[in-house]
Amino acid sequence: MKAGDALPVGQHNIEIQRNREAWERKPLLQEIYRGFYRRIAARIKPEVPGLVVELGSGIGGIKQVIPHCVTTDLFPNPWLDRQENAYRLTFADGSVSHLILFDVWHHLRYPGTALREFSRVLAPGGRLILFEPAASWVGRVVYHFCHHEPVGLKSAITWNAPPDFSADQSDYYAAQGSATRLFWGGEGRGRLAGWRLAEVAPIVSFEYFTSGGFSGPQLGGRFLHPLVRGFDRLAAVCPRIFAARLLVVLDKEKT
Ligand SMILES: C[S@@+](CC[C@H](N)C(=O)[O-])C[C@H]1O[C@@H](n2cnc3c(N)ncnc32)[C@H](O)[C@@H]1O
């Protein structure tokens, strides 16, 4: 797949089913993901009224750590709470306290259009939490060579959908470096009116890389991983070189 390519949207559901099988086979991956979900849970502000909602939940693993999270996806798989499209949500204005997107932002061809919809459903002071690939120096090599989706560091970001766009036209788009470029690399500057960029946290995790994620083979046995975790702690001093993941928190301004 190349930057800007569009595959049929059903490709997402093919991958969801594959990911479910990988999840069952890979307890280490589950453990790593639970750690990622705990980082997200720590950013939830209980004082903001409204629902905690995940968009693009895929296999719905977040419930293991945030049981009250409403899980949703483009595809109404039976383990999810409801079907939702990020570009046209069915939630009432201001009814959501937190929107969580785990590996979903980089599938949004028109991030500015989606952000407007997120702002509509979020309560004042509500949070958008993104968990994304980090295109650090190591990250861009790993994601380029070990994952089928383009990193897309040089391709144009189309912020707004064309006027005749309808949410039903969503396709399978991917640019893994989108969040890095916008929130860590500064390309979002001037595009985030109505939002406060509250946090950009790069996460060094060779543990994640060596787990192979959902699509690759796990490197080393389970016993190697405590060592890898130790290395992660050392490498954490250079996130621009080593980060694997990027956690981004955007707060909707209260106006
Ligand atoms: C890479 S998967 C991530 C799945 C899950 N969050 C995880 O971390 O395992 C991307 C997910 O986003 C969903 N998705 C893509 N475009 C979407 C949209 N416009 N609205 C809602 N979900 C979308 C896909 O169906 C897919 O489940």
For 22-58, the pLDDT digits (tens) are 999 999 999 999 999 999 999 999 999 999 999 999 9
Considering only CA atoms, which residue is closest to atom 14 of ligand 1?
56
Q: What is the pTM of this model?
A: 0.96
CA of 73 to the centre of ligand 1 (A): 6
For 54-105, the pLDDT digits (tens) are 999 999 999 999 999 999 999 999 999 999 999 999 999 999 999 999 999 9
User: Buried b / exposed e across 48-58, counting CB within 10 Å, b at 16+?
Assistant: bebbbbbbbbb
Task: Spell out which residues line ligand 1, taking CB within 6 angstroms.
Answer: 12, 16, 19, 55-59, 73-75, 84-87, 102-104, 107, 170
For 138-167, the pLDDT digits (tens) are 999 999 998 889 999 999 999 999 999 999
Whole-angstrom distance, CA of residue 204 vs CA of residue 207:
9
The helix (H) or strand (E) run that includes residue 229 is: helix 225-235
β-strands 96-102, 51-55 pairing: parallel
CA of 79 to the centre of ligand 1 (A): 14
CA of 254 to the centre of ligand 1 (A): 28
